[in-house]
Structures are given as structure tokens and as C-alpha cells.
Structure 1
């Protein structure tokens, strides 16, 4: 068959971001001119029909979503019977790009429009069903009044955007030259939805279009990453399951946000909105504050004697000063001298009360009575040496990077997401919206060679480090109360965030990136190196020194020191700015008291028991210190995202928007210390939603929905994904309406009861409470109050606006103050 090769041939590549256009165009056109892509089939039979040489590339951006959801339409379906629609097992879809389908159907919402048969099957195996998975929903929730509905989302061009027209015009103008249209939007749910919308728009507006489509997944904006994506592109393929999952999320957020917000705005005009994810996140912040308050009320301050212990180093030359805590082992005459103060004990509630009651006078009197200026009978225990080992950190997922950058760089989640996207579009880091900690195995040898060159062979892990370095060893075991996120979600298909060229140092970027971008890159670069380096090992020595004071009291103090025996992965952080160093208790020594990490101090403490007399040990500057209780820490943007991720709530693409919404709505603020605090409006909203929608704002419900989206994305066929989406959305709508109806009726009865009670008490002031209650009950029964049937009002709705109007009308009738 003759190809159109008489004139210049083009491939049109559709991406979502304008920042990618120049990079992709430059790389592919340069590569083509230099012979880098000699055959666009790359020798694959599946791409033979679109293969060719010396083809030019046109790159067009959609500028994000160029369509917006206009409405939802409903159609009643027969009541379902178990079991629910089968879906594939998580292990069957390690990569979104490998989910195959032999038919690409353009999606208008879900299921509208005619598709084109694939000219050939994709070169991957068809996934198999996993019958062990639980049904998506409990189908017994459906009834004649709460039906199963077919939910179809309708999309139209976004206001102010002419992307759809530009896309159509570009294809029309170049139709005679085009050999292929490559959909290369981001490799996640939203990116797949953009690809699906571009595909559908062209097929609907240009029904005679014969140019073949393909889908390419670009994981890094580098020559290697872009050419690899072209080589692995799938002909006649759009992952409609993944696109349907994205549409289902949009539909769920529309239903939850619009209908739920209608009710809460009625309850309090200060409530602007609620959201499927933002509200559980707000509740998490409020509940942490409640935990802190409860802790502070149940725990009292502790008191201890602190002093300065001075002694000479192991050589008997340099003086060393250490702050120590003194513990009283045996009381002396000071107990009688100061009767108000019992022997000092860190856990003794009486001393707390005494010090609080008598203040500075008691402190000074007690310390004077101890007579610390005259100590004797000093002895030291044999030193105890402990070996410590700290495992390297995992490479960054988006959530873990947001958390670390928020803590170390004081960047908001929105700033981190923006900076990451810019670094990605510059080709400096891999795709950022990932849940994975894996590293592409092909780059492992390059990373190891970089480590060997920079730090030496002794710093390279030699335990056959693979794609996920020490993933099992370094992960913390979750606490009993902690829910662990399910594995296998749609955004776990991408590798961890890493530099596209590990040899490119942060210093080399100073002239091409901003300071904020450089700091982010520095953090990513150091952590990627550290993940493939040896553990940090240290020795810790401790000894206990006892002595008698002039009052006869026997006191003890503990001296400790550490020294590094092998710097290991911590060397990766020692050569970067302070901002990029790790500082948590799982991945770095930086959280330790670095003043104790000293070879000279280690030697001094280790030998102290042998040279007490020569060491000239003294104890001075004693004082009683009050230590406040240490409650759970306040949440920050980073730790809140950690909290949500650990419980399977949200996805990398949604974390920044969650925080942005909470702050923009005035439900939380960030204080001067970078901690999240709820506002009064935020606390009121959280409490109200917990009362009205207890099941729907529970974090477990939101996590379960994310899991259902992943199952929709993995459906065996497009029809199955649509049927699964119908089940999920219909069940949610039924539960939401049921809760609204119950809440409204309860509120109405409360208002009626208060009114009747006031009237009866006014007419019968001599009645006791039992008589009033009985009369109120009888009066309400006699009134035969009839409530509007919300289910009947909403059952016939065929469009979302009708459903919302029915709910508004119900609230106006059942809530007198509704406006």
C-alpha cells in the first residue's frame, strides 16, 4: 500500500502543557534530522502501518483540560443483582500503558459516540478477572425509590478556551500531510481523560478523518524518555477504563460538592462548600487539635534538676561541658530542711505541685540545701556501647516529597507541585505525579557509578540493589490505629521522582532555574543518591555517674556520646545546602543531637570510669527546670498529606488542590510556625458534617472510593468500567439522599417538638416533666405531620439541575429558615 510520501509528512503530537511543546518538538525533529528516528515503527509489527522516516513533528498543547463537565444525565436501570461487575487484579496492571483494549470508543461522558475497530490487536496479553475481589457496592441499597441509574457526563469547551477549535483547525489544515495523531498527555487519570476528550472531539467533529491515532506515555521530558515513549506508543489505543475513572471522580465531586454544599449552606451561611476529600482532611486537622487538647488536660508538667557536668577529655587536656539531668537516688538532709519539697523525682506529682506552689523560693532553697558545691564518693559504671544503623531513605513519591519540602524548605504543597511540574517540563526530573518509590532498573547502574565517583566504592550498596532500594527494610510498620493505603492504584504505575540525569548537579542549574526550583532539585538529587548508598552506622556509648552531695543526698547523672563509624548515605546530604538535608527519624542522622556526635567526646565518656580522679569532674549551675507535656504534634501541610496518603485518600494530582481549597475557604490557616490551625468556621463545618453525613465524611469512605476508582480503571472492558461507574455513583447518590432525608426529618421534628413543648409549658405551668413529655408526644402524633418524600422528588430527575432543584425545594419545605 502506497504511503503519502510525495509531500512532507507530519505526526501531530497532542500534549496538555505549552511548556512541553518546544522541548518535544526540538528533540524529535532534531532526532529525525540526525537519523535518531530512522523508522517510526521502531521495527515493531504493531507500528508498521504508521512507520516512516524523515517525518516532521507538530506539537500542540491542550493547555490542561480543554473541556469542562456541563452536566450529568440520569436514566433509570433495572435493579441489579449480585455479584457486581468483575475487575482485574492489581498485579495485572503494573503499568497503565499495558492495559489493552481492541476497540477504542470515543467517550462523551460515558458510552456515547461510535468507535473505530482497532486495525490490529495491541501487543500485550489481555488481563484476567480476579473473582476474589469484593463487590463494588452493596446492591441492596437500591430500591424503586432509590434506583440504579445510568450516569452520563456531558462535556463542552471551557469558557475562555478555544483549544477544541484550534485542535480541529490544526488537523484540517494538515490533514493531507498527517500520518498519525499521537495523544501524549500526562500518564495518569486526568491525562488519560484529556487524551480521551481530544480523541472524541476529533472523531465527532471530523467524522471522515482517516488519520490513525496512538497513545504515548511520556515519563520524562528528555530525549531518551520522549523517544522511548514514541517507541512504546499504542496504536488505536486510549485507556477508556482510566478515563472513565477520571470522569467518575469528576461526577462524584459534582454530586457530593453541589448537593452536600446546598444542605450545609442552609445550616450555616458561613459554610461555603464541602468536598469528598477536603472535608475529611479538615476533620483530620480538627481531630488532631482535639487530641492535643485532651493530652494537655490529662498530662501535667514534669520537673527535673539540670546542671552542667564538666570534665577533661581522654588526654586530660581539653575541658568538656555537658548538660545533664540529676536524679536523686537517696535523700539527704535537704528533705528535712525544706519540708515543702519531697525528694526530686521526674515522675513525682508532689514535687510538681510543690514547685508550682512555692515557685522560685522553693527551687533556690532546695538547691541550696543539696549543697552541690561539695560532692564526694563519685563512681562511674562501666561504659555501655551500642551499635546503631540507619537505613537509607526511599526515593520520593509526590506525597513524600511534598511532606519533606514543606518541612525542610517551608514550601506549600501548591508551590511544590508547581515547582515539580516546571522541573519536569524542563526535562530535569521524571514524571512527578506518582505514588511509587520505584526507580527504573535501567538507571540503577548509572546511579551507582555516580556514587562511586563522588564518594568511593565503599558507599555503593553491594546487595544487588534493584528498582526499589530497601523498600521492605525502610518502611515503617504502621501503628494499630493507622490504616495503610491499598497498593496498585492508577498513579503507582510511574517510577519515583528522580533526576533524569543523575550526573547533573544542582550547581549546574543555577543559571537556568529559580532558587526554589534548585532547592527542590537538590532535595531530589540527594535523596536519589542516598537511596542507593550504604546505611549510616554509629556507635553510642553511655555511662552513669553517681556522687554524694554535701547534704548527704546521692544523685546520679547519665553521660552519652556518639561517633560515626561509616557515614554511608548521609554523605549525600553533607555536600548540599542545609535546606536539602533530611531531618526525620527514619532517613537521616540530622534529627539527632549533633553535638553528641564527636570522636573526642566518645573517647572521653568511654574512658571516664577509669580516670574519675584525673578527669576533674564537677557539677555546677544547677537549676530546677519545668518541662511541659509533649502532645502529638500539630499537623502541617506535609504531615496532613502524609496522613491522607497513609489512609489511601487522595492522589498525587489532588493533594495540592485539597490544601488550596481548605485555605481559600478559610477553614484552616497556617500559623507562623507552619502549623495548620482550624478556624471557628472550619470547626463548625467539620462538626456539622460529622453530624449530618457521618458515613460520607469518614476518611474510610473516601479511601474506599479511591480504591473503587482504581478498580473502575482496571475493568476488563469499557462497558464494564461504565457499569462499575454507574454502580458506584448510584450507590453514593442513594446514600447521600438517604442521609439528607433523615437529617431533614430529624431537624423538622426537633423544631416541632420545641414549639409544642413551649406551648404546653405555657398552658400548663404546673405539670411535671413527665406530663409535659407525654403531652408533647401525643400532640405530635395527633398533628399527623407529613414530610415531603425526597426520594420521590428526585427519582424522576433526568438531569443534574433537576436533581439539585428537587433537593432545594425539599429543604425549603422541610426547613422553614431555608433561603
Structure 2
């Protein structure tokens, strides 16, 4: 039985497990937890509100099976817990450590920042014992998970009841919704004002170029028209000044998570969650380093490889004398590397690797972006010769600039985003006269700020210190899934529900949407990670906030309902209309507990369709019948077939993805026709 001291490596994803298994060979057995295998229970709070002790449960029967397999294998084995190198990954690892510490001979912590044979073997060799790692990471996870659960579980039902409808409140999602709502209100309130742009087309040696009046924006229409008519008949312009200078443009640092999401959103139109899914695959297939990071640092060895690559493929002139070093804003981030390629080979070869791994065209597009940014970050600056010239036309000064690229530098690889104005100018000398061939006076209007895109919203959240690399994509997904924002093109527009929620929270629980408070709480978690603060203190602060709020808010729905009941029962409630507690009491005493005729008829028809039993007590109780109808509708949905007409509407609106999901399709169709009727 020499098999006993087998080495077990535990990672999160089965795909990653297969990849690592290939590199480590038969002495090792690589197993996957399939993501978080433990979490707070779905149907209850799962947190003791006196001690804040959480109750974590195994998420599914499959996870239970996986766990018992790993436990069996780990008996007297050497175990390497190699879940992802961040807070969430560490938490999965910690739960696994707790499960195995009495069984395994030894448990070590391995953090893989790239899935390449050399890196994995090195990390396994020097893996520390799990007990010696930073448990602060797990405590920061606890703070986040428990704190978010308390905020969501306590405030969502209150908000739903008081606003009327289904609303979800989140510690980080709600400030994100507030940003979108505020931007939309700025846009609605914006009043465009006119301004005037005056330009003259000049010519020398057959080369035409545009020059602008020295005050680029004129607010005064009369002045603009006067200058225009003064220069209209003038045929020449005199060069009064020529400045030439060399302008250098430095490459950008390699990608962090948020900048990758922003760039992929603006360049490729990928949503942050799509970017993260693709990046996850690239990471697991060994093509890029770990994709959740706020570091811009690149390891010395990688820099050596990149420099060698630049020299071989672009030549010595593209290689700076010294390697470029990028520093991260927060020093803690530098434990990790930036997101970079792991194979220092040309683009065609990168494409080949993508095909060999069976990945898609979209994977390649993202890899290409990471490849370009990685290589460019170590190349020489781009150099422009910029000429600025001033002209006198009838006593008015006009100005022009032109740039010629003298050396393309890093732009040979990465030439997106920054556009240098490259108007071609003829050689110009002070004192000479050039021809004026035309002039133009344009009226333009100031524009409102643009709507956020998912990329620019991630950027804003990062600027405000809200969210972390692992959460940006989830925040975007949540606010879309919960129906608070919709995408129009690439832009985000808030829905009616978003306005209702933000106005309510602003009045009643302002701290939830307070950017500064949210930022301070994120920093608190960072301190917990560094063992400088206690996670329970984090949770306690949030819990106390949820308990102390102003007076209850009366929603329009509640008020209308109370007035209806008062009319029905011939009661006068004018003296309690602004007292939420009394109003609620009145509603509870007088509300109808019997179902309506319509509800009863509907329930009976559903019972016939589905064959579900419809007990007598359900027919006599409004709440019970509602629950029964919802259950029966779900049952009916299983066999529901969309009509051809319904399918045609979905296809016409680009929602054919819903054809196989009748429940979602009907929801979408309902809201589609509702909007049509409103119009």
C-alpha cells in the first residue's frame, strides 16, 4: 500500500484540474471543488444576529458527493489547497482545510498565478503550510458575505413592502444603481446652450489645413458673426509664430481587472461579466496570468521574456534601455501581478494556441488585447513632431496644430484609445504669407454628460473606491438581472424601479447609497484582511445601521389601498394618513382575506390544466390562493408552448434566446406589450 502518501491538489474548476493534472503527472491527483461548495443557506438569513455567527451549508448534493470523495482521497495524504489567489478563493480553500485537517497528513497552500508547467511545479515545491497563511483573507470574506447578507435580508423586504413591489437592496449594488440614476437625472435636467466655432482653411504649396480662431468656443453670437464678416473677403493670412516640439507618448501599464473590463467594453463591446468569463477560460488554459488583480506589476522573469520578444520581433530600436517598472496605487496589490500573457510568442502563434485549446474567436479577441497591452507596456515611447502655428487674418489670431509621427514606438503594437491629432502641415516660417481659401462659422450646442456604459461605470466605481476586482462584473450583472438598468446600445439606462428604490433609500437609509460610507466599508475589509480590524465589527456596524432609520415611509400603493378600504367600510381615516404605524394597523384589521371571484376562477382553470389538487382552505384564503397560483403557474409553464406569433415578436426584437424559456419569454412579452400600449 505505498499509495497512501499520494499528493492531492485541490482547485476550483474541473477544467483547471485537468490542465494541472497534465503538468503534474501520476504522482498527483488533482480535484475540483466546483466553485464555492459552502455558502449561507438560500431560504433563511443563516446568521445569528446576536453573535453574528454564520451558518454555512453545503450547497448541493453534487458538492456533497465531491466533498466525500476528496475526504476519502485525503486520508493520510499530502494536500495542496490551490484555490484562486484572492479572498473568495482563499475562503473556499479555508472551508476545505477545515474539512480535511483531521484526515490529511499535511495541508499546504499553493497560489497559482498562471497555469504553466514551470510555475505550477515551482509553487508546489515552495508551498507553505496552510496554518502559516493569512487567515485575515478568510475573515475579510466572512465580513463581506455576512455583512452583505444582513443588509440584503433585512432591507430588501422592508423596501419591497414600503415602496410596493419587489425590490432588492445591496451594500454595493445600490450605490451603483444610484450612479446610473443620478447621471440620467443630470441628462434630463441638462439645458443645451449654443456656442460658435470659427475656422479658416489655409493653403501653402498645394497643402490645405484648418486653423481655428484662438478662442475655440465663442458664446457671443454677434462677435462671432462680426469676425466672420470681417475676414470673409480676406485672401491671405500671415504666419506670426511657429513652435515645433517633440512630444513623447508613453505606453500604458499592463491591465488590471477593471481596466481590462473597461477596455474590452469600449473596444470589443464585451460586458464585464463576458470579459471575466473569457478571461477565466484563458487563465485556466494557461494563456494569461490570474485575471482578478488591481496590480500593474510584472515579474522580473516576465519582463526579461517580454524584452527578449521585443528585440527579436520588432528590433533593438523598439526596446528601451531599461525595463519599465509600473507601481500600483495600493501597495497591497503588488503581491499579485498584472494581467499579462504567459506565452511570449507572436500573435499568429497565440491564435494557434487558442484553436488548439478549442477556444472561440471572442477568446482570441480578448487575448489579443492582453497580448498587445503586455508587449506595448515594455516598448519605447511613441514620438511626435508637433507644430503649432499662429496666423494673423485681418487682425484676428487663428491657430493650427499638426503632428507627424517621428517614431511609432509602442504604437506599433497597441494603437487604440489615444488618438494624436495628425493633420499634415506644410513647412511654415514666421513672417510668410499663406493663402486663405475658405472660412466657416458653425453653431454648435453643448452636450449633456453621456450615459454610463458598463465600462465607464466600472471606472467610476473604482475611482470612488467601491467594489474590488472580483466584484465589478458581479455588480454589473446584478443591477441588470434585478431590472434596475437596461442596456440601450452600449449605454445603461435606469428603469422606473431604479428611481423608486434610490429615492426611497435616499430618504430612509441614506447610508446604503452613500458613496463615502461604502468606500470606508471596503477599506474596513482591507484592514480585516491585514489583521488590523475585526470582521464582526464590520458586520455589527452594518447591522446597527439597518436597525436605526427614520420613520417608516408611506408608499402611494399603501395609501391608495387604505383609502379604498376606508371607503368600502365607511370609515374616516383622515387623521392617520401620515402615520405609517396606524395606517398599517387599519389595513391589517380591514383587509380582505377572501380571494376575489376572478382569483378563484383562475385557480380552478389552472387546477384543470395541471391536474394539481386545489384544497378548500386555499379557496377561502387570499394569501394561500396567491401562493397556490404561483406554484400552479410554474407547473403549467413546464408544458407551455409559445405561439408562432409570440416567437415572431421575440425574433424581431433579437430575443430568440428566450424561445426555449417560456416563463422568461412571457415575462418579456408582457412588458414589451405594456410599453407598446403606453406609447
Normalising by structure 2, report the TM-score: 0.76
Question: Paired residue for 2:484, among 640, 654, 667?
Answer: 667
Quote the offset at 1:499 in angstroms: 0.6
SS in 2 for 1:709: helix
Pairing 1:291-330 to 2, within 5 Å after superposition: 291-294=186-189, 296-297=190-191, 300-312=193-205, 319-326=206-213
Rounded Cα–Cα distance in structure 2 between residues aligned with 1:399 and 1:13: 30
Rounded Cα–Cα distance in structure 2 between residues aligned with 1:21 and 1:259: 39
Rounded Cα–Cα distance in structure 2 between residues aligned with 1:267 and 1:815: 18
Maintained 8 Å contact 1:745/1:787: no
Q: Does 1:422 align with 2:281?
A: yes
- The corresponding residue for 1:706 is 522
Pairing 1:509-520 to 2, within 5 Å after superposition: 509-510=351-352, 511-512=355-356, 513-520=359-366
Maintained 8 Å contact 2:303/2:323: no
- The corresponding residue for 2:156 is 261
- The corresponding residue for 1:215 is 109
Q: Does 1:497 align with 2:339?
A: yes
Rounded Cα–Cα distance in structure 2 between residues aligned with 1:628 and 1:659: 32
Question: Paired residue for 2:78, among 180, 183, 198?
Answer: 180
Question: Paired residue for 2:38, among 57, 62, 67?
Answer: 67
Normalising by structure 1, report the TM-score: 0.64
Q: Which moved more, 1:278-287 or 1:674-683?
A: 674-683
- The corresponding residue for 1:26 is 22
Pairing 1:519-668 to 2, within 5 Å after superposition: 519-548=365-394, 555-573=396-414, 581-583=415-417, 590-594=418-422, 596=423, 601-602=424-425, 604=426, 606-607=427-428, 609=430, 612=433, 617-620=435-438, 622-668=439-485
Maintained 8 Å contact 1:380/1:546: yes
Cα distance change on mapping 1:504 and 1:15 into 2, 3 Å:
farther
- The corresponding residue for 2:611 is none
Quote the offset at 1:555 in angstroms: 4.9
Cα distance change on mapping 1:21 and 1:302 into 2, 3 Å:
same
Cα distance change on mapping 1:7 and 1:727 into 2, 3 Å:
closer
Cα distance change on mapping 1:157 and 1:786 into 2, 3 Å:
closer
Maintained 8 Å contact 2:46/2:56: no
Quote the offset at 1:24 in angstroms: 0.5
Cα distance change on mapping 1:346 and 1:730 into 2, 3 Å:
closer
Maintained 8 Å contact 2:376/2:410: yes
Maintained 8 Å contact 1:168/1:202: no
Pairing 1:236-385 to 2, within 5 Å after superposition: 236-237=130-131, 239-294=134-189, 296-297=190-191, 300-312=193-205, 319-326=206-213, 346-351=217-222, 372=232, 374-376=233-235, 378-385=237-244
Rounded Cα–Cα distance in structure 2 between residues aligned with 1:814 and 1:15: 57
Cα distance change on mapping 1:186 and 1:309 into 2, 3 Å:
same
Q: Deviations over 1:594-628 (max 9, x none)?
A: 4x2xxxx34x1x4254653xx6x2323x4432212
Q: Deviations over 1:224-267 (max 9, x none)?
A: 22112202212243643211211221111111112111121113
Quote the offset at 1:544 in angstroms: 2.2
Quote the offset at 1:460 in angstroms: 2.1
Quote the offset at 1:370 in angstroms: 5.7
Maintained 8 Å contact 1:399/1:435: yes
Question: Paired residue for 1:154, among 55, 60, 82?
Answer: 55
Rounded Cα–Cα distance in structure 2 between residues aligned with 1:381 and 1:61: 72
SS in 1 for 2:40: strand
Maintained 8 Å contact 2:258/2:459: yes
Quote the offset at 1:269 in angstroms: 3.2
- The corresponding residue for 1:228 is 122
Q: Deviations over 1:258-312 (max 9, x none)?
A: 2111121113334431211111011112222334445x32x61112344533332
Rounded Cα–Cα distance in structure 2 between residues aligned with 1:442 and 1:366: 62
Question: Paired residue for 1:733, among 543, 557, 573?
Answer: 543
Pairing 1:43-54 to 2, within 5 Å after superposition: none
Cα distance change on mapping 1:248 and 1:383 into 2, 3 Å:
same
Q: Deviations over 1:537-581 (max 9, x none)?
A: 222112222334xxxxx55432321122332222222xxxxxxx3
- The corresponding residue for 2:571 is none
Maintained 8 Å contact 1:744/1:811: no
Q: Deviations over 1:382-426 (max 9, x none)?
A: 311233222220111100110111111111101110111010011
Higher helix proportion, which one?
Answer: 2
Unaligned ranges ≥5, structure 1: 30-54, 77-148, 313-318, 329-344, 356-362, 473-484, 549-553, 574-580, 584-589, 759-775, 789-808
Dislocated runs of 4+, deviation >4 Å:
71-76, 608-611, 745-748, 785-788, 809-817
Cα distance change on mapping 1:660 and 1:635 into 2, 3 Å:
same
SS in 2 for 1:430: coil
Rounded Cα–Cα distance in structure 1 between residues aligned with 2:253 and 2:130: 37
SS in 2 for 1:13: strand
Maintained 8 Å contact 2:11/2:84: yes
Q: Deviations over 1:718-759 (max 9, x none)?
A: xxx7xx1222212211111101xx2328999x98xx99xx9x
- The corresponding residue for 1:401 is 260
Question: Paired residue for 2:10, among 10, 14, 37?
Answer: 14
Rounded Cα–Cα distance in structure 2 between residues aligned with 1:302 and 1:396: 39
SS in 2 for 1:539: strand
Maintained 8 Å contact 2:78/2:104: no
- The corresponding residue for 1:440 is 299
Maintained 8 Å contact 2:239/2:428: no
Cα distance change on mapping 1:608 and 1:811 into 2, 3 Å:
farther
Cα distance change on mapping 1:744 and 1:348 into 2, 3 Å:
closer
Maintained 8 Å contact 1:12/1:58: yes
SS in 2 for 1:276: coil
Q: Which has the larger radius of gyration?
A: 1
Rounded Cα–Cα distance in structure 2 between residues aligned with 1:811 and 1:435: 54
SS in 1 for 2:383: strand
Unaligned ranges ≥5, structure 2: 567-573, 593-622, 624-679
Maintained 8 Å contact 1:309/1:618: yes
SS in 2 for 1:651: coil
Rounded Cα–Cα distance in structure 2 between residues aligned with 1:547 and 1:218: 66
Pairing 1:131-142 to 2, within 5 Å after superposition: none
Q: Which moved more, 1:651-660 or 1:507-516?
A: 507-516
Maintained 8 Å contact 1:421/1:432: yes
CA RMSD of aligned residues (A): 3.7
Cα distance change on mapping 1:327 and 1:619 into 2, 3 Å:
farther
